[in-house]
């Protein structure tokens, strides 16, 4: 399935982070191992979450957490070593207890992969409604309508 062409444009993502590829990340074909590529997306999610906490002074309620419930990855091109990778991150959907992130990897200004992650706000009892302050912050990081 072809991705939405807007998702291939780094400028639509409200958050970006650069990650350096390491020699240890390559496979026998001299491109990035698929497990490492999943870690690049994880770096993007973590960087995005930290930036929200820092920028908006969010406080985590005791016993509350955000969990990854699902993640999909589409490989569009080889990711090569050496080189830097830019991860773009934006919110693509808001639900009652969950939200979705749209992520993309860029190398040499070319989109080399996209990923979608569903995150769920939960307590020990299970999923629970997103806190209003977090919801407001996530709305400010939504991708353009035609890229979701």
Residue ranges and CATH numbers for the domains of the chain are 5-143 (3.10.129.10)
- Residue 100 to residue 111: CA distance in whole angstroms: 20
- Residue 15: predicted pLDDT: 97
pTM of the model: 0.91
As beta bridge partners, residue 93 has 100
Residues 6+ apart with CB under 8 A from 117: 41, 45, 68, 70, 71, 72, 100, 101, 103
Q: How confident is the model at residue 60 (pLDDT cuts 50, 70, 90)?
A: low
User: From CA 112, how far away is CA 41, in angstroms rounded?
Assistant: 12
Q: Using CA atoms, how far apart are residues 30 and 25, in angstroms rounded to an integer?
A: 9
**% the chain with pLDDT above 90:** 62
What is the pLDDT, as a whole number, of residue 97?
96
Q: What pLDDT, in 10s, does the model give residues 61-117?
A: 677 788 899 999 999 999 988 889 999 999 999 999 999 999 999 999 999 999 999
Read off the pLDDT of each residue in 48-58 and give the average, rounded to a whole number: 81
Average pLDDT of the residues in 36-55: 92
For residue 95, the model assigns a pLDDT of 96
Residue 116, pLDDT score:
97
Mean pLDDT of 37-42: 96
Question: Are the CB atoms for 140 and 58 separated by under 8 Å?
Answer: no
């Amino acid at each position: 399935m072809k991705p939405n062409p807007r998702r291939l444009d780094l400028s639509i993502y409200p958050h970006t982070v650069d990650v350096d590829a390491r020699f240890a990340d390559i496979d026998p074909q001299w491109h990035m191992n698929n497990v490492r590529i999943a870690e690049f997306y994880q770096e993007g999610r973590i960087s995005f979450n930290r930036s929200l906490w820092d920028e908006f002074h969010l406080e985590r309620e005791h016993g509350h957490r955000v969990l990854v419930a699902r993640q999909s990855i589409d490989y569009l091109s080889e990711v090569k070593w050496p080189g830097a990778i830019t991860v773009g991150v934006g919110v693509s959907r808001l639900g009652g207890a969950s939200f979705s992130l749209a992520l993309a990897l860029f190398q040499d200004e070319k989109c080399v992969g996209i990923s979608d992650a569903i995150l769920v706000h939960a307590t020990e009892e299970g999923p629970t409604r997103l806190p209003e302050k977090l919801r407001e912050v996530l709305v400010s990081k939504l991708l353009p309508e035609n890229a979701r």
